[in-house]
Every structure is written in structure tokens, then in C-alpha cells.
Amino acid sequence: MMKKIGIILMSFLCVVFLSNSWADKDINIEVKTGIHGVGVHESKVKVGEYDVLNIGVQPDISFFLNGKINDLYFSGSGTYYEEEDQQYSASVDIKRYLTQEFTYYRFKHWLDHDPLTNLYAAATTGTNVIPPLVTYTDIESGRDYSIVRSERESKTTLRIPLELPFELKTFFNYRTEARWGERQALTMSKCSACHVVSRSKRIDEYTEDYNPGFIATYRSKKARVSFSYEYLDREFRENAMAPENYYDRAVHPGSGSNVFDDRVQYQNTKLPYAHSPRSRKYSHIVKLDSYVPSLSTGMFIGSVYSETENKEEDLKFNLKTIFTRLSSAMIPGLSFNVHFRYLDLANQSIFVDTNEPVSNAGTNAGHTWADPSHGGTYNTIDPDFTRNSAMSRRQYEVGLDMVYLLMKGITLRGSYEWREIKRDHYYVTSNDKETKEHRAKLAINARFKPPVIERPIRATLTYKYKSIDAPFANVKAAFKGETTITSNGAFSGTQYWELHEMRNLTLTNLPTLTHEIRFDTTVPVYDRLSVTAFYRWIEEKNKAVEWANKTHMPSLSIWYAPLDKLSFTVSYLYKYGKTNSLLCVPVYDG
Amino acid sequence: MEGHTGIFAINYLFSKKLNFSISSAYTDSKAHMERIELDGPTAATQIDNGTNGFSRDYNYDFSEVQQYSDLHIRELDLACSISYQINKHFSLNVEYNYLYYGDAKPYLYDGTGRAHIGIFTLSYWQ
């Protein structure tokens, strides 16, 4: 602690001393140093979620500088508040040929610790006692969890000093991101969460980016054209070991007999869980941007190809996208953009070869569950399956934006966008894999002087509309109706997979229709009094699933300065929201 | 869901060298579920499972479920500061910050907490 105080004090004095020798140079510097003391009562997880809140007294320092020495321009800033709360930035420009930027930050995030006591909510006492059928063990009960996050980024740009018909710049960006600390990791043992276990999981994640590229720009009186290419190589790895859990033997909770051995994937063994796999991403980004001043029109085309790979399971997903936009202000008073986007996302399918243990004893002895030759009368399926991804899709988007100057001080804005998502494998209705969206927006911006106030008032009124046909949904979300099940034991009764297949209701919590109105205005009533009002109303509906959401958000701010030396600011914000939704009653939930 | 947020700030220049400011932000937010209404029978159904030695009621009564998710959070962030300009290069700043997070309807655990932060800063600029 004394060492830290000494270092910070010496740094402050050095800056003060050195700045005196820079008095005749074009350099500005500001430095602050001091101490801060912290006291905390009860829990600090919520009251200071993103604060370090170390109890006691700590020194701190911050600085800001900018300046110029000959053809070298530089600037920098930094704050050291706590060991886990720092940020720095610096930039250097040498004769406009070489620019270098550097940023670094680090902060702490406190996380919750779920005590799991709600799992006993299904238990009852009294006449008909139901013991807790879902139990839990919190290995490190009451432990505080937090993650420290840091990012370091360097950007280097070099303008090639050659006599070329165009300007050529190359750049190299490097970034690392690290997260370390502990968080809670939960796992379940046996038959849909009969026993939930909580353990601490160490986090030691590291992401590293290499991002080189170039930009070539041609300029003339007739046109400006710019072409750029960049490559990104990103690697993510988790250096901490995954926690391990002992998965109990799956015995009947009442009799204690070993009757589930042919129907569980693993038991009576220690296995890792909550593991974050190592991944690698490569991407190529190409852009072409042009502008013709005589036509006040510009054209942009961009394309991205990327490949992301799970290095531990040899799984990949590829992304290909192309985006193009035409912008023009040829017609006086009117400017518009038209854009088109195509996206193709392909996520690899994987064949899941499930573990099919052979039963040791009981009715199914010597057989797997899926083997019908033992004499049982239940219906079986092949438990192996191919996991196709709901991410895989092709997406098309076309949009138009316009801004029109109605009269002096009043602008009308309008936009329309059509989007279609065609999924490769995932159904969003019983027979359709496509989602279609229409989005429209209309807004008016006004800046005018009303007669009484005689000061410029600014006001904006916006209306947004969205219509979505077949939003993302689960087509086997729930069962509605009546049915008959056979309850003659595990080997002649209705099976769990048959109950799942009976589900006949498509449900979602996404709307098919959205309306939004937004209004804000600032009124400078007097030189010393200003009022800002804001209102937002959102209504979302999906009649097919009886889902609806409404939100109101008005707010008012007043700034008043009765004297030159005294000013007040008062604001009030109210938010009201209501959501109506269906409730699914769980059956066979463990 | 309903939330109220109020913000208040005062800034007063005692003199060219002495400045005082106070600012506060207070939020009171609530969320709850309304009574759940079910189609079909809601009375408890007796399931006699004699092989295990006890019987169970599958209870469709959700009349108290909505209370489990009641939330009522109050937050206060209060900051007072005085700054004094010593000369054209140095200034002093003293600040006090009070943070409060109140969990008025704790269920699994009480997240209430308070923090006091005192700050003393010497600034230099050229």
C-alpha cells in the first residue's frame, strides 16, 4: 500500500516538474492524484455491480495530455483507480505517414450466487406430505463470484510514401481480451434435475485478434473511389480446467433399486461439465466505396466471408454476406438510400451417437432400451440422431430510406425494409421454415420559433411499424387437448419420447405486429429555463399465441439557472410495462 | 412492471475559486405476476401410488405462484462535491458518494447493500 502511494506520488511530482520544462512547447497536460476510501454494508454484488469496492483507503491517479513536437502529434489519457479498475489510451501521428493508437481497460463485474433454495418449492407439509423431489447441493455456499475483464488494442496505420496515382494505406490491428475470475456452474444428476449441484468454475479466457489490411483511394474532381481489404484471425481459448462432478448411480427414489441403468447416458462416474471449447475464426472483408460529386451520388459494396471452427469437436460454421447501398441527393431537398443485403449462414450438422448401455438386471436384463427383442411391449425409437442447426439460413433484405426537406426547419424522414429468412432445417410453423418481415418508419423533425417564446424549439415525432409472418417459434412447444396414456410401468407404458411427440402447439414470445410512437422536444422557455419532454409507447402482439406486450415511457427534464452562480437540473422518468402470455404446465418434470 | 426514476442536481459557484455541487438519482421499480387463470379443472387430483407407501396430490392450484416472483427494488446514488481552485495550475476536490440498493421483497436471498465512498483529489494542469 505504501509502495503504491509512493509510486503514484512520485508520478504526480514528475509530471508537475517535467511540465514546467515544456512551458514553451505546444503541450497540454492535466494530472490528478488523490485517495479514496470505501465502506460497504451488507451485500456489495448489486450496489456496486461494476465497482471494485475494496474496503479501506487506496490512492489513485489520472492524467490527460496532448501536444505537438515538430511534425509529431500525440495525445494520451489514463486512470488508475484500483488494481482491477484502470483505463489508458494513447495516440501518435508522425507526419501523417504513421499513426499509432493504443487502448487498454480493465474492470470488475460482480456476479450473483443462486442459493437454489427455490427447488424445494414443490415440497409440501401437512396432511399430504410431499418430500422435496428435487434436491440440491451448493458446494461453496455463500461464495462471492466475480469476473475481471480486460482488453488491450493496438492500431497501426502506415501511408505508403510512394508516388502512385492513388493513395495507399496499410494497417495492422492487434487486440487481446482476457476474462478471469470465478462464476457459478450448475449441473444436474439423473432424470431431469432430481439433484442439482452448484460448484465454482474458474474462468481464465483469452481472445487474440490479428487484423491486417489495406485501403487504396483514388481522388479526382470527377470521382472518389476507395477499395479496401482486411483479414481477421481470431482465437479463443479457456485456460482453466472445467469443474468435475460425480454423477450418482440412477436408482429409483422410492425403492432404491437400480432400474434405470439402460436409460441413462452416464452414472457412477466423475465427468467434467461447463466446458468452453477452443475456437478459431478467419474472415475476409472487402469493400468498394465510390462517390461522384457532380451527381451527389455514392455507391457502396461490401462482402464478408468468415469461417468459425470449434477446435475440439471439428465443427464449423461459415458466413457469406454481401451488402450494397446506393445513396443520392440529386433531387434538391431529397436524399435517399437504397440497400440490399444477402446472407448465407451454414452451421455444420453433427451426428449424435448416444451411449446405449445394456441393462444388468430386471425386466430388461441383457438388452439396451432400444432393443425390442426382450419381450417388452413399449414403443421404441433409435436414440441416435443428427443435430441440424436452426442457425443455418439464407437471408435477403431490401430497404429504402428517404429524407425530404418539407420547408425551412421541417424535415420528413421515411423508410421501408423487407426481410426474408429461409432456414435450412428449422420449422417455424407446421409446414414452413421461412420468416418474412416488413418494417416501416415515418418521422418528422422540426426546428422552429413559435410566436410567444421567440426561441428555437426542437421536436421530433416518429412512428414505427413492424409486421412479421411466422416469427421464430417452437412447433412442438406444448400439448393442448385430451389424450390417453398407458401407465403400466416402464416397459409396457407410454414412454417419455411419446409424450414429447404428442406436443401439438406452436408457441413463441415474439410478436407478429408492432407499433411504436416516440416524441421528444426541447423548449428553451427563457435564457435560464429549458424543458425537455420525451414519450415512448410500444405495443406488440401475437394473436395466434395470445401474447401481447405494452410499454409506456414518459419523462420530463427541467434545467433552471436563477442566478449566474446557481443552476438546478430536475428529471423524472416513468416506465410501465405489461406482458400477457400463456403458461405451460409442466408434466413429467422430474 | 412499473418504475419511477427521479434525478436532481444543484451546482453553486460560491466564488470564482469555490464550487459546490450535489446530484442524486433515485429509482423505485416493481414487477409482479398477476393471478394465473387456467382453462380446465384446477382442483387437486389425488393420485394413489400404494406401491411406494405414500400418495401424492397433483395440485393444479396456482393461486400463490405469482407471489414467488414479486420484485421491489429501490436504488439511490447521491454525490456531493466541493472544488477549490488554489491558483491557475492547482485545484482541490473533495467528494462524497453514497450508494444504496434495497431489496424490498427478498425471496431466495436479500441483495440489499450500501456503500460509502470518500474521494480527495489534487489536480494540476498547465
In the prediction, which pLDDT does A455 show? 82
pLDDT digits (tens, 9 = 90+) for A164-221: 899 999 999 999 999 999 999 999 876 555 788 999 999 999 999 999 999 999 999 9
Considering the domain boundaries, does residue B75 fall inside one?
yes
In this predicted model, what pLDDT tens digit does every residue of A542-555 receive, in sequence order?
999 999 999 999 99
Check: CB of residue A530 under 8 Å from CB of residue A521: no
CA distance B72 to B52: 43
CA-wise closest residue to A148 among A175, A177, A181: A181
Longest dimension (CA), chain A: 98
Output the CA torsion sign for A131, A135, A138, A139. positive
B56 touches chain A (CB under 8 A): yes
The predicted-structure confidence for A444-468, as pLDDT tens digits, reads as follows 999 988 887 778 899 999 999 999 9
Contact A16 B124 (CB under 8 A): yes
Q: What is the DSSP string of A117-130?
A: GGGGGG-B-SSS-B
Note whether residue B50 is domain-resident.
Answer: no
Cell of A341: 443485403
Q: Rounded to an integer, what distance in angstroms lies between the CA atom of residue A211 and that of residue A234?
A: 9
Q: Is residue B98 part of a domain?
A: yes
Chain A residues whose beta carbon lies within 8 Å of the beta carbon of residue B51: 254
A205, A216, A355, A224: which is closest to A290 by C-alpha? A224
How far is Cα A366 from Cα A364, in angstroms, rounded to an integer? 6
pLDDT in tens, A473-493: 999 998 888 888 887 777 778
Domain span at residue B21? 1-31+68-126
The answer to whether the CB of A171 falls within 8 A of the CB of A219 is no
The pLDDT of residue A372 is 65
pLDDT at A475: 93
Residues 6+ apart with CB under 8 A from A101: A89, A90, A91, A153, A154, A155
Average pLDDT, chain A: 91
The rounded distance, in Å, linking the Cα atoms of A213 and A194 is 54
Q: What is the pLDDT of residues B6-26, one digit of tens each?
A: 999 999 999 999 999 999 999
Query: In Å, how far are A450, A459, A460, A560, A563 from A455, measured between CA atoms?
Result: 7, 13, 17, 16, 20
Does B1 reach chain A within 8 Å, measured CB to CB? Answer: yes
Each residue's pLDDT tens digit, A109-152:
999 999 988 877 666 666 656 666 678 899 999 899 999 999 99
Tally of structural domains, chain B: 1
Q: Is A70 on the interface with B (CB under 8 A)?
A: no
User: Position A371: which residue type?
Assistant: D
Residue B45 domain-assigned? no
pLDDT at B38 over 90: no
C-alpha A205/C-alpha A442 separation (Å) is: 45
Examine residue B59 and state whether it is found in any structural domain, yes or no: no
B126 part of contact set with chain A, CB < 8 Å:
yes
pLDDT per position in chain A (590 positions), as tens? 788 888 888 888 888 887 877 777 888 999 999 999 999 999 888 999 999 888 999 999 999 999 998 899 999 999 999 999 999 999 999 998 999 999 999 999 999 999 988 877 666 666 656 666 678 899 999 899 999 999 999 999 999 988 889 999 999 999 999 999 999 999 987 655 578 899 999 999 999 999 999 999 999 999 999 999 999 999 999 999 999 998 888 777 677 777 778 888 888 889 999 999 999 999 999 999 999 999 999 999 999 999 999 999 889 999 999 999 999 999 889 999 999 999 999 999 999 999 998 888 777 788 888 886 666 678 888 899 999 999 999 999 999 999 999 988 999 999 999 999 999 999 998 888 999 999 999 999 999 888 877 788 999 999 999 999 999 999 999 888 888 888 777 777 888 888 888 999 999 999 999 999 999 999 998 889 999 999 999 999 999 999 999 999 999 999 999 999 999 999 999 999 999 998 877 665 44
Q: What is the ipTM of this complex?
A: 0.86
Pick A41's closest partner by Cβ from B57, B103, B114: B114
Interchain CB distance below 8 Å, A32 and B123 = yes
Which residues share a beta bridge with A345?
Answer: A319, A393
Cβ–Cβ below 8 Å for A34 and B120: yes
User: pTM for the full model?
Assistant: 0.87
Residue among A29, A130, A575 minimizing CB distance to B3: A575
Burial class (CB in 10 A: 0-12, 13-18, 19+), A351: exposed
B91 occurs within a structural domain: yes
pLDDT single digits (tens) A18-28: 787 777 788 89
Burial A68-80 (b: 16+ CB within 10 A, else e): eeeeebbbbbbbb
Cell of A135: 434436491
What cell numbers appear for A463 in the block?
A: 412512428
The answer as to whether B62 is a domain residue is no
CA distance linking residue A568 with residue A579, whole number of Å: 37
Contacts of A261 (CB under 8 A, 6+ apart): A250, A267, A357, A359, A360, A361
Cell of B111: 441483495
Q: With an 8 Å Cβ cutoff, are B6 and A572 in contact?
A: yes
**Residue closest to B23 by CA, chosen among B12, B14, B10:** B10
Residue of B nearest to A19 (CA): B126
Q: Using an 8 Å CB-CB cutoff, list chain B residues near A124.
A: 57, 59
Contact A527, A542 (CB under 8 A): no
Residues 25-54 of B with CB under 8 A from A: 29, 36, 38, 51-54
The answer to whether residue B38 is domain-embedded is no
- Strand ranges in A293-433 using DSSP code E only, listed in sequence order: 297-310, 315-328, 334-347, 350-352, 385-387, 393-407, 410-423
